[in-house]
Amino acid sequence: MKFIIQLICTTTIIFGLLTESCTASLQEKQFPVDTLANETAKFLLGSETRLFAERQKLPKYLEHKKIMKAGLNIAKPGLKKIKTWLSDKNDLKDSELHCLFYPFSGPDFLYADVFFPDKEKYILFGLEKIGKLPDFKNFSDTLLFGYLENLRNSLQYANNNGYFVTRQMNEFFTNENLDGTIHLLYSYLAQTSHTISSSRFVVVDFNGNISTDYGFSDQSKQTKGVEIQFFKPGDKQLKTLYYFKVDVSDFQLNLHPEFISFLNQQNNISTYLKSASYLLQYPEFSILKNYILKHSEVILQDDSGVKYSELKTNFDVKLYGKYSRTIKQFSERFQPDLKKDCDSLGQNLPFLLGYNKWHNESILMSATVKKETDSEKNKVVSNKTKTINTKHANSVRFKVQIGTIENRRNKEKYLKVFPDAEIYTDNGMLKLTVGNEIQYENCLQIKQEARKKGFTDAFIVAFENGKRIPVETALERSKNQN
């Protein structure tokens, strides 16, 4: 009897220990882990792994580890200063804004994470290729250590200066094995102490929906990307990082509107713009700029993002840092009104970041959407009423052209699909359009619908007072009109 009691007690203790161990294990492995992806990321960074443990003992890998650590040490003080500076910037910490949009980022997850560590979704894109990770286990030592050297070289400029240069990155990515941003994204995820839960290549369909791309190729004309899910210990849910290789000039977005359709599915957006080549200040990038201004609740940028004078129109803007010039390459983008308002600040940022780091100064603008007062809301309602009852003397409209006909009797096949199609004459030809939109972006969906219904050559045209004008001209006049 005594033996049975002891056995029961012992079993109870063992069961308790097993339960406790399992519970701890479950807490530690809160989300599934992609072991190969996660070990690869740590291997690239120079951290210990199980999968590659033997090769990590080799002298050349130990040299890689030492150089990578030195590179991290170069960036570390600046990153620490940024975190300290952010500690009281409550306007950038809105817990309701779950998505970060980072245009022209290249593979720069590092600064996306340091400025916005609490986002659930990160959308990055650039012109740099995506690439594929090689099978390191089948690499010869010569190939492996050549690859790691190329990886270090591709990270060096960003570690020193805080931004990537697309031309340089594309030169690095001509390498057969280091062929795109995915290599650097993995390295940054490991550097920021994240664990990779899953990774897959994705393609964006005509409606902006994401699906797995089983036949991934960087050469495809479709909008493609990589989706990486990751977490840190203590995170309550998985986070998602997207990187897309996409040209977002107006011309290309007109040809491939699926990317804007994907963006239109996102809600509660913050936007970050750094070292963005001032592209949003050119009329050729109006579609993306208008999307950012319309959908962002918060924008954090340097002077290379949306023009300061335009940003102030619909946002409350706080300025931080010093601004006295631009680098020589972008001298025509200097903004005198920004300099005037910055001169009163009297001090630089505690860290240097962006193009003007070369002039030993940095500028950041924190913009939040203006909150309307009751009187302003009433004014908007009043203005909308006037818009309904009166026509603008200088009204720009965007439409979708779906076809050309020889005479009006040939329009039946179009009217069966689009009963409201209109006809206009251009160079003696009769042409049919659908839609009559003030905003260019509204025509993108109409164009998609037209192409789905068989009008595969449908495209957007613009009119002013009933006369057709170039779309680029209409975008500029529409901006001024608004």
Q: What is the DSSP letter of 84?
A: H
Domain match, 350 and 399 both: no
DSSP for 399-418, please give it. EEEEEEESSGGGGHHHHHH-
Q: Is 7 part of a structural domain of the chain?
A: no
158 shares its domain with 250: yes
128 within a domain of the structure (yes/no): yes
Does residue 18 sit within a domain? Answer: no
Comparing C-alpha atoms, which of 43, 97, 95, 34 is closest to residue 65? Answer: 43
Q: Is there a single domain that holds both residue 357 and residue 466?
A: no
**Which of helix, strand or coil describes residue 57?**
helix
Same domain, 192 and 320: yes
Provide the 8-state DSSP code for 371: P
Q: Which tens digit of pLDDT belongs to each residue from 178-206?
A: 889 999 999 999 999 999 999 999 999 98
pLDDT band at residue 86, thresholds of 50, 70 and 90?
very high
Same domain, 102 and 196: yes
* Distance of alpha carbon 123 from alpha carbon 245, whole angstroms: 11
User: Is there a single domain that holds both residue 166 and residue 258?
Assistant: yes
401 is a domain residue: yes
pLDDT for the residue numbered 108: 95
Total domains in the chain come to 2
Same domain for 324 and 432, yes or no, is no
Q: Are residues 399 and 436 in the same domain?
A: yes
Convert the pLDDT of each residue in 22-77 to its tens digit: 444 444 447 999 999 999 999 999 999 999 999 999 999 999 999 999 988 888 89
Give the number of other Cβ atoms within 10 Å of residue 62's Cβ: 12
Reference 59, options 146, 156, 145, 137; nearest CA is: 145
Q: Are 117 and 239 in contact (CB under 8 A)?
A: no
Residue-wise pLDDT for 372-416, tens only, equals 655 554 544 444 333 333 333 347 888 999 888 766 656 666 777
Q: Are residues 325 and 407 in the same domain?
A: no
3-state secondary structure 135-179: CHHHCCHHHHHHHHHHHHHHHHHHHHHCCCCHHHHHHHCCCCCCC
pTM: 0.74
State the residue range of the domain holding 363: 35-369
Q: Which of 228, 252, 247, 253 is nearest to 239 (CA)?
A: 228
- Nearest CA to 114 among 158, 68, 173? 158
CATH number of the domain enclosing 429: 3.30.70.1070
What are the residues whose beta carbons fall under 8 Å from the beta carbon of 379, sequence distance 6 or more? none
- Taken as a whole, the chain contains a residue count of 482
